[in-house]
């Protein structure tokens, strides 16, 4: 049986906080490989339960990462802040590399493009300590900047976009293992649940009930990263909630969907009703912005009853003309109405957050300030 090591590298940044961050794509890939007979191992550099990596735990399973100040890249030297590596120590990483059986291939994921130094360091250490083992790089950075990744990280293979099937087929070719293609999933319900069992401790879990988004906001990379908008069935989503809740006792779940409220009558409303019907006592969080326009009294009341504790609404900017150029999914009036509706359903102001963007092309700082003032005025 071929052994595959999955790695979620460190974050290198000025600041980082574990706000329900899990390498969900990598865990899906791992689960798919296991289904087809591979043996999988995981090193998650951001696992706050690794010895020596324990950061202070905060509300709803979130928490601080271990932080190590490292040399700042030259291009950022004018910024008067420390640059740090977040996650386990390098010594612990090397210890873990030697504690798993020698892998036949190493799969490394990547998230933010500018976090690539963590990916680079992980691949360097793998080569230094494991010698010539095929390295396969996937994830968001690899998908958005494959040429940069080829040059700077120099993995043996790059996988772009959703990785479950592509990685499986690559490994089958690499090791000459025939794959019965009739057993490949034909829809999202046929995918295995992500391999969360690879962790020894679970503060929270993340869940993806749909993939992609049919919108095309000018600032958003989702259309380059994900598959066309596709939903799982309500029943399949509820099974995953119940399975992980019962097996690991997890109560905090964060939705990773980009368009969670889309087709709400067929999707999120029956999901929330199903959670109530099954008597699941969960705390739900929506770190990806929600469509304020789609919040109505029925949905808001169900969210409150089913345990949606963290509500984050997408807003981007209060400047209507800029918004019209880049995204039509919300207006100032939509935001006002959504907040009032959520409050009437029982939410306190402190439970509702609104995302405002800064740094849009040509955007003056005064516009950002106006947007923040607008949100605070509500």
Q: Where do contacts with ligand SF4 occur on this chain (CB under 6 A)?
A: 213, 215-217, 220, 222, 258-259, 327, 329
Task: Report angle CA 101, 104, 106 to the nearest 5 degrees.
Answer: 90
Q: Report the sign of the C-alpha dihedral through residues 69, 74, 78, 79, in that order.
A: negative
**101 exposed, middle or buried (CB, 10 Å; 0-12, 13-18, 19+)?**
exposed
Centre a 10 Å sphere on the Cβ of residue 44 and count the other Cβ atoms it contains: 23
- Supply the minimum distance, in Å, between the C-beta of residue 175 and ligand SF4: 36
Minimum CB distance to ligand SF4 smaller for 213 or for 375 = 213
- Supply the minimum distance, in Å, between the C-beta of residue 109 and ligand SF4: 20
Minimum CB distance to ligand SF4 smaller for 221 or for 333 = 221
- Supply the minimum distance, in Å, between the C-beta of residue 350 and ligand SF4: 24
Query: How far are the Cα atoms of 41, 50, 157, 174, 185 from residue 108, in angstroms, in the given order?
Result: 12, 19, 10, 17, 23
Burial 266-298 (b: 16+ CB within 10 A, else e): ebbbbbbebbeeeebebbbbbbbbbbbbbbeee
- Supply the minimum distance, in Å, between the C-beta of residue 329 and ligand SF4: 5
The structure tokens listed for 192 are 């295995």
Minimum CB distance to ligand SF4 smaller for 211 or for 245 = 211
- Supply the minimum distance, in Å, between the C-beta of residue 218 and ligand SF4: 9
Minimum CB distance to ligand SF4 smaller for 126 or for 225 = 225
Minimum CB distance to ligand SF4 smaller for 46 or for 206 = 206
Minimum CB distance to ligand SF4 smaller for 284 or for 294 = 294
Minimum CB distance to ligand SF4 smaller for 236 or for 288 = 288
- Supply the minimum distance, in Å, between the C-beta of residue 75 and ligand SF4: 27
Query: How far are the Cα atoms of 62, 87, 264, 310, 349 from residue 58, in angstroms, in the given order?
Result: 5, 16, 31, 14, 20
Give CA–CA dist 78/94, Å, rounded: 33
The three-state secondary structure class of 295 is coil
- Supply the minimum distance, in Å, between the C-beta of residue 348 and ligand SF4: 26
């Amino acid at each position: 049986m071929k052994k595959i090591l999955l790695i979620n590298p460190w974050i290198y940044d000025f600041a980082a906080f574990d706000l329900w961050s899990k390498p969900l794509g990598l865990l899906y890939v791992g689960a798919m490989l296991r289904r087809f007979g591979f043996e999988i191992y995981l090193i998650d550099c951001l696992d706050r339960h690794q010895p020596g990596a324990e950061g202070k735990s905060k509300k709803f399973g979130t928490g601080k990462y271990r932080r190590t100040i490292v040399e700042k890249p030259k291009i950022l030297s004018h910024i008067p802040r420390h640059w740090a590596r977040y996650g386990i120590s390098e010594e612990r990483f090397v210890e873990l590399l030697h504690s798993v059986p020698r892998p036949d291939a190493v799969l490394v994921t990547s998230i933010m493009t500018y976090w690539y130094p963590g990916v680079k360091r992980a691949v360097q250490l793998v080569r230094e300590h494991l010698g010539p083992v095929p390295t396969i790089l996937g994830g968001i950075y690899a998908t958005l900047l494959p040429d940069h990744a080829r040059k700077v990280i120099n993995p043996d293979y790059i996988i772009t976009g959703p990785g479950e099937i592509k990685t499986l087929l690559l490994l089958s070719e690499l090791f000459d293992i025939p794959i019965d293609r009739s057993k490949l999933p034909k829809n999202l319900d046929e995918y295995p649940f992500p391999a969360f069992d690879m962790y020894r401790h679970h503060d929270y879990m993340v869940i993806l009930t749909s993939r992609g988004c049919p919108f095309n906001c000018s600032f958003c990379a989702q259309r380059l990263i994900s598959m066309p908008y596709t939903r799982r069935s309500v029943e399949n989503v509820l099974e995953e909630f119940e399975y992980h809740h019962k097996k690991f006792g997890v109560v905090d779940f964060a939705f990773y969907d980009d368009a969670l409220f889309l087709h709400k009558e067929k999707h999120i409303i029956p999901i929330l009703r199903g959670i109530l019907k099954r008597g699941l006592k969960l705390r739900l969080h929506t770190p990806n912005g929600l469509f304020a326009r789609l919040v109505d009294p029925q949905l808001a009341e169900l969210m409150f009853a089913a345990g949606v504790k963290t509500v984050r609404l997408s807003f981007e900017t209060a400047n209507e003309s800029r918004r019209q150029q880049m995204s039509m999914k919300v207006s100032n009036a939509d935001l006002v109405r959504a907040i009032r509706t959520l409050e009437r359903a029982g939410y306190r102001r402190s439970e509702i957050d609104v995302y405002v963007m800064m740094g849009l092309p040509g955007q003056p700082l005064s516009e950002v300030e106006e947007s923040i003032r607008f949100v605070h005025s509500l």
